[in-house]
Homo-oligomer: A and B are copies of this chain.
Amino acid sequence: MATQSVKARLTTAAFALFDERGYEHSTVDDIAERAGVGRTTFFRAFPSKDDVILPDHEVVLSAVKARLAASTQETALVAVSEAARLVLLHYLQEGDVARSRYKLTSSIPALRHREVTSMQQYQRVFREFIHGWMGGGSETGLKAELMATSVVTAHNYVLRRWLRGLTERPEAEFDAAMTSVLELFADINPNRSAEDEASLVIFRTTRQLGSVIPALRKIIG
């Protein structure tokens, strides 16, 4: 019977009880009893009651940190995108568990707060990473923060669409969203392009303006 770990048994027991009686009407005693363990053991596995709905949070957060750490100055943005994708993929792999959680976090404030907190933690990791990538100066603080929140927001947007059943291709939508976010910030990045700068060029010619201008118009489109 005890093939699953204690944590896993507690998690399934909790989700089942929350589904049957609702979150408020399921006590920690109930959860522990259904999992076949004592109440004390519950609080050893989870710091608080609401943590039971995000049992893999620490693992995923560590994976995100590891993915970011395994990057260079040139591949930083790819790392950000892929690290965020790790989070999405974890939810996708959870399947029905993720959808159950969504039902719960949508209706129970305490659980919504718990999920918001977890997203804040991802955001913090991204912010520190991006800020470090930008050099860590105070002039890039706001930009780093904006970028981090945007990445997390884009992730959440696609995730929520999938949870609501509004998309069959969450990964493709995620890539699109992430690309548009990174494009948004493209001009203020360290590896900057010259896209925004305009050059004024003056040529000397003996040809008539009347013949030159239509040709110029054609080039500029």
Binding site for B on A (CB under 8 A): 113, 116-117, 120, 141-142, 145-146, 149-150, 153-154, 157, 177, 180-181, 184-185, 198, 200, 202, 204, 209, 213, 216, 220
A146 close to B202 (CB less than 8 A): no
Q: Given that A150-B149, A204-B209, A209-B204 are contacting pairs, would A157 and B177 also be in contact in the complex, using a CB cutoff of 8 Å?
A: no
Q: Which residues of the partner chain B approach A145 to less than 8 Å between Cβ atoms?
A: 153, 157
Least CB distance, A157 to chain B, in whole angstroms: 5
Q: How many copies does the complex hold?
A: 2
Is there an interface contact between B213 and A202, defined as CB atoms closer than 8 Å? Answer: yes
The SS class assigned to the A binding surface is: helix
Q: Which of B142, B181, B209 interacts with A146 by CB under 8 Å?
A: B181
Separation of A5 and B17 alpha carbons in the complex (Å): 44
- Nearest chain B CB to A11 CB, angstrom units: 22
Given A145-B153, A146-B184, A184-B185, 17 more A-B residue pairs with CB atoms under 8 Å apart are A113-B117, A116-B116, A116-B120, A142-B154, A142-B157, A142-B177, A145-B157, A146-B154, A146-B181, A149-B149, A149-B150, A149-B153, A198-B198, A200-B216, A200-B220, A202-B209, A202-B213
A85 CB, nearest partner CB in chain B, Å: 16
- Most chain B CB atoms below 10 A, which of A145, A149, A209: A149
Measured between alpha carbons, how far is A94 from B204 in the docked complex, in Å?
Answer: 64
Could you give 24 example pairs across A and B, Cβ below 8 Å?
A113-B113, A113-B117, A116-B116, A116-B120, A142-B154, A142-B157, A142-B177, A142-B180, A145-B153, A145-B157, A146-B150, A146-B153, A146-B154, A146-B181, A149-B149, A149-B150, A149-B153, A184-B184, A184-B185, A198-B198, A200-B216, A200-B220, A202-B209, A202-B216
